Amino acid sequence: MPGWIKVLLVLVVFPILLGLAVLFVAGRPIAFEVLQRRTAARFPEVKWISTDDLGRWQSDTGQPQPVLLDARTPPEYAVSHLEHAVLIDPYKPSIRPLGKAAKADAIVVYSSAGYRGARVADWLRRLGYTSVVNLAGGVFKWANEGRPLFRAEGHPAALVHPYDQRWGMLLNGRYRAEAPEVGKQSAAP
């Protein structure tokens, strides 16, 4: 075997295979952690909220509730979303979905797994919104934990749009909807 192939195997192929093996053994929690760390490195000013903390917040009816912004596409939102969430275009965001929310009001942004949500949260932060957080793990992690999902007019939903085949692997199979893949677009606001 030529020396360059050995080097390629040691420096590229084996680390990739090892990473895949760890991901397979450790499962989705590690994948969500890696994804959040990479996204947080890209958007260091964005603050995060865990699914547990958001769930507690939503169940505390004595506390003002956050504005929930779903930073996915209309087809994804139509399959399911968090209760009372408003759709915001992750590719060309507008403050219109915020309605009359003040710049100091609590806002929770989420997307499939967190990246588009982080981009929108960062965009809002740069516009001067001071209480914006991104949901760690997005709607995928929310669904995997068996938390409530809804579709049009407050009807309960059981499935989530998988975005595409690769990202959909972050979703537990029982929550993965059969849906066309989202077209690849720039997520830059």
- CATH numbers and ranges of domains, the chain: 44-175 (3.40.250.10)
- 112-124: string of b/e by CB count within 10 Å (b at 16+)? bbbbbbbbbbbbb
What is the arithmetic mean of pLDDT over 24-50? 88
For 82-127, write each residue's pLDDT tens digit: 999 999 999 999 999 999 999 999 999 999 999 999 999 999 999 9
**Prediction pTM value:** 0.84
Q: Indicate if the pLDDT at residue 12 is higher than 90.
A: no
At residue 117, the 3 state secondary structure works out as helix
